[in-house]
Structure formats: C-alpha cells, structure tokens
Amino acid sequence: MDNTVNPSVDQAAATLKPYYKSHVFCCINERAPGHRRGCCKERGGAELRDYMKTRARELKINRVRINQSGCLDRCELGPVLVIYPEGIWYTYQTKEDVDEILQTHLIDGQVVSRLLLDPDRKDPKPLDALTPDPPGRPSPTPSAF
C-alpha cells in the first residue's frame, strides 16, 4: 500500500512552474446555419484564431499557447476567447482587436478594457463602464477580474 500523501492542487500550483505563462482558448464552435444564438465560427473565429497564432509567432511571444476550443457558451458575443491563468474573457472581431489583445494583454500585462467581457453579463462592456446595478440586483465583484 502506498502511503504517499498527494499535495493539494493549490500546493502544487504554488511550487511548480507552469509549462505556459498564458493559455488562450479561442472559440471556433460551429452551429447549424441560422441558429438563434449564432456561433463564433460564422463570425470569423477560426480565421482570427489562425491570425492570432501567426502573429504571436511573428512577435516571438514566448510561453504562450493559442488553441482553438469548442463552445465556450457565450455565442451571442462571439467570437470570444478566454486567457488563463487569469480567466479574462474578450470578444474580438478584427485583426486589429487580435493585435491589441496580443500587445496589451499578453506582452504588456494589461487588460484590454474595450474588449473585456464581464463574467456576469451577456453584453460586452468595458471595465470602466461597469456601474453598480440598481438596488436588489447583485453587482459584479471586483475579485472576478
């Protein structure tokens, strides 16, 4: 019988160097044509993800992995991506948006406020536009960012 005590996930994460500094998941999910929620693929998600991979290589951004993902369940806002370990979500629609995410978030370490998706809302809002909800409705927590 093995008496090894396994460390907690938090303990392991605190002591191990991650293989990637950042991991970007770009939704390229495809739904049936005319689906009420739409999909990231029909909004250019696959092409923009390919562009992001190419540009990241050209910019020599090290220890960053850019992957495609299936549905991230924010279809109406797509294309969308999420960057870990921060868990920051963005909506993006152009190559210029991709360039801004690469430069501002992955290189400079800053949030791209204008493309930021608040985790509790279904519409894109910049971080500086978040205002308290009316009484009786919960406000987004700053710790979510």
Residue 12 forms part of a structural domain: no
Top pLDDT among 97 and 36 is at 97
Instruction: Say which CATH number the domain at 82 has.
Output: 3.40.30.10
Residue 5 forms part of a structural domain: no
Domain containing residue 41: 19-144
Residue 139 forms part of a structural domain: yes
pLDDT in tens, 2-19: 778 888 988 888 888 888
Mean pLDDT of the chain: 83
Residue 118 forms part of a structural domain: yes
What is the tally of structural domains in the chain?
1
Residue 55 forms part of a structural domain: yes
Q: What is the 3-state secondary structure (H, E, C) of the chain?
A: CCCCCCCCHHHHHHHCCCCCCEEEEEECCCCCCCCCCCCCHHHCHHHHHHHHHHHHHHCCCCCEEEEEECCCCCHHHCCEEEEECCCEEEECCCHHHHHHHHHHHHHCCCCCHHHECCCCCCCCCCHHHCCCCCCCCCCCCHHHC
The pLDDT value recorded for residue 121 is: 63
